Chains A and B, each alone.
Chain A
Amino acid sequence: MFTNDDNYPMLYSCCLPVKGYKNSIICDIQRQSYISIPSTLYEITMDIGKYSIGQLKMKYVDEDIEIIELYFRYLWEQKYLFYTPFPSSFPKLDIGDWDESSVITNAIIDIGEDIAYNFKDILHDLNVLGCRQLQIRCYSIKSLSFFDDALENTDSNNLDAIELIIAYSADIIDIPIEYLTNKYPLLSRIVLFNAPLNNQYLSGTGNCLIVYSTQQIDDETHCGAISKDFFSFNIKAFTESQNWNSCLNRKISIDKHGLIKNCPSMKRSYGSIVEKSLLEVALSANGFKDLWHIKKDDISGCKDCEYRYVCSDCRAYLDEDSMYSKPVKCRYDPYEAIHLE
């Protein structure tokens, strides 16, 4: 590999190094995975593409070159790196460019006991706002007709996927679930928590994942967990997190009391759905979009973490009082590089 001095080692531009305090990673946003590297290798990783092999041999002493060659061989084997005599033909991805053609891309509606929603109006507003992903969470047991009522108007043009997160009940399993997935093809996931067992399978229609979980959930406080399972290694998420909050950007929510919020777990409310519409809040409520701008690079702890552009984040349950502090449910310590689950 290091035979032709004119060749430049290059990372494929979809393989993006992210420096953490102790550990670093190279995110592969095309195959949606990553490899870990010690941060001591980060500097040389950033040299990839800048120097030809001949120039690297000048820049580093022989012992270092051996290590570099081994390291590059590993990257090459992993298909993160290639050799070319024309490095300028391979420009970097413009990761600063993230855009969405809608005001709101995702919404959470929590369903509680003290208020009945007018789903028709809610879905109308979400459609106008261009919402693509909807999550409906229900902490108490509801009947099938309730879900029918909630989902009735979801066949709008804009929604791509709907997730139901609902309390397990022996009445809503098997046949009712199949009925829902048949009738509402946008359903992509149904999670039944407080279930007697853990299990998951694909619906008969093949496009909805049914998950039975023994997790005990009583309210929105279950949310906000930071885990590798929730990391997104795709180009959209990676570019969005450069300048926007990975959780709250373009999100709107209704909590179980009917209060319109950025997320059901946040304290600040922009008014009750009884008095205000989602449209009003999303388009003109004072400060509604402020939190969207808190990017990972601004958050203490996270800004030194190598997972900051793929992490799901949470702005509701925090380490300290500051809006710029780390999610309290994250156990990862980027300074020691330990405890990532």
Chain B
Amino acid sequence: MRDTILIISEYSDVSTNKVMEYLHHHGEKKVIRINAEDVINLNGIDLGTDKSSVSISYLNREIVYDEMKSIWYRRGDLLCGKFNAYGTEAIESQVNRFLLEEWRVVRDFLLGVKRIDSSVFVLGDLSKEEYCNKLHNLNIAHTVGIKIPPTIITSRKSELEKFINLYGIIVTKAISNTPTFHFENSNYSTRGTAILTAEGINKLPDRFFPILAQKYIDKVLEVRVFYIKGDCYAMAIFSQDSEKTKIDYRNYDHEQANRIVPFKLPTIVKQRILKLMRALDLDTGSLDLIYTTHNEFVFLEVNPCGQFDWLSYNCNYYIERRIAKMLSNGKN
């Protein structure tokens, strides 16, 4: 019988907890959650014999692929238990790197459920998360007709100067993800997006490590969209209301919380988002857009494993319930 629901996540992920509560509430008995913080044991992958089968065990629970109904890759990773490679201490790090590569192939096989058994319902994809490239995403968004901010990646001061002369106000942010640095028992993080001033640029050497620069865009609203299997749940953030959050809403202003309300995307924008998600082959993701003072929607980025808890709660969307239903029914 197909009754197992497998969820790959992280311990601290609130959305996963909520989805699981709904699954239990709706009577699902075999829900197995694997957190990236834990390790799994591979029982066996049996290929090309009479009894082709795949099974893994995790905290004393057996996961047999033949019994799998749905799998949700929410975030995190599937990690293998550590084994000591005896007698190779001298080249330990090289061996470990090799073992990691070995495990990667196994892991990708295990998570590539659709290719093992096409009747399993799959939501999310680790490989999409791993290969998610913000620059590709921007480029593809542009080709499907979504406006993006004029963007450059450069390591030359002269280029930055040209760029700022052209657009007046420009910003910079991490090309990958907002970094956190640990120093003397404290964690330091950046504010996400920061303004690049002419004075700041002036102080730079002629060549530097490549950075991203974008035209600063005056906005009326920030729009967040949680996309799932063809549906868009959108929310507007009136971040212009308070000065502090003007550049990036993560600079959250607690006293005068920004207004957050449900938002209905114009049909044309929605269609382009669907096109983008299809082009990126993502079945879930959260997108950041801004609505500009020139009445345009501008795409900033998409996170395949972005948070939706906040959006779901504030807009009363019950996205967790929707996901639980999909996993239960084994279809959209």
Binding site for B on A (CB under 8 A): 12-14, 30-31, 79, 82, 88-95, 97, 99, 101-103, 130, 158, 235, 239
Contacts and interface: CB of A to CB of B under 8 A. Distances in A.
A239 B266 contact: no
Interface of B: 18, 21-22, 24-25, 236, 238, 241, 256-257, 259-266, 313-316, 318, 320-321, 324
A10 to B, nearest CB: 9
Contacts, number: 64
Given A88-B264, A90-B263, 14 more contacts: A12-B238, A13-B261, A31-B257, A79-B256, A82-B259, A89-B236, A93-B261, A93-B262, A102-B21, A103-B25, A130-B21, A130-B24, A130-B25, A235-B313
A103 B24 CA distance: 11
Contacts of A102: 21, 25
A101 B22 contact: yes
Contacts of B238: 12, 82
A130 B20 CA distance: 12
A97 B317 CA distance: 8
A82 B260 CA distance: 12
22 contacts: A12-B238, A12-B259, A13-B261, A14-B259, A14-B261, A31-B257, A79-B241, A79-B256, A88-B264, A89-B236, A89-B264, A90-B261, A90-B264, A94-B262, A97-B316, A101-B22, A101-B320, A101-B324, A102-B25, A130-B21, A130-B25, A235-B316
B315 A99 contact: no
B21 A30 contact: no
A239 B316 contact: yes
A13, A95, A158, A235 — which one has the most chain B CB atoms within 10 A of its CB? A13
Contacts of B314: 14, 30, 235
A300 B2 CA distance: 51
A91 B262 contact: yes
Nearest to A90: B261
A13 B235 CA distance: 11
A79 B238 CA distance: 11
Contacts of B262: 13, 90-94
Nearest to A32: B257
Contacts of B316: 93-95, 97, 235, 239
A151 B262 CA distance: 41
Contact of B321 (A94, A101, A103, A158): A101
Contacts of A31: 257
A91 B264 contact: yes
Contacts of A92: 262
Contact of A93 (B257, B265, B315, B321): B315
Nearest to A96: B316
A12 B262 CA distance: 9
A239 B315 CA distance: 12
B252 to A, nearest CB: 14
Contacts of B256: 79
Nearest to A239: B316
Contacts of A97: 316, 318
Nearest to A103: B25
B21 A101 contact: yes
B289 to A, nearest CB: 13
Nearest to B324: A101
Contacts of A130: 21, 24-25
Contacts of B324: 101
A235 B241 CA distance: 22
A92 B313 CA distance: 14
A185 B260 CA distance: 32
Q: Which 10 A-B pairs have the closest CB atoms?
A: A101-B21, A101-B25, A101-B22, A13-B261, A12-B259, A91-B264, A89-B264, A93-B316, A91-B262, A12-B261
Nearest to A234: B313
Nearest to B265: A89
Nearest to A13: B261
A174 B194 CA distance: 48
Contact of A30 (B260, B318, B321): B260
B223 to A, nearest CB: 9
Nearest to B22: A101
A98 to B, nearest CB: 8
Contact of B259 (A79, A93, A101): A79
B21 A99 contact: no
Given A82-B238, A97-B316, A235-B313, A14 B22 contact: no
Nearest to A158: B21
B61 to A, nearest CB: 16
Contact of B257 (A30, A91, A101, A158): A30
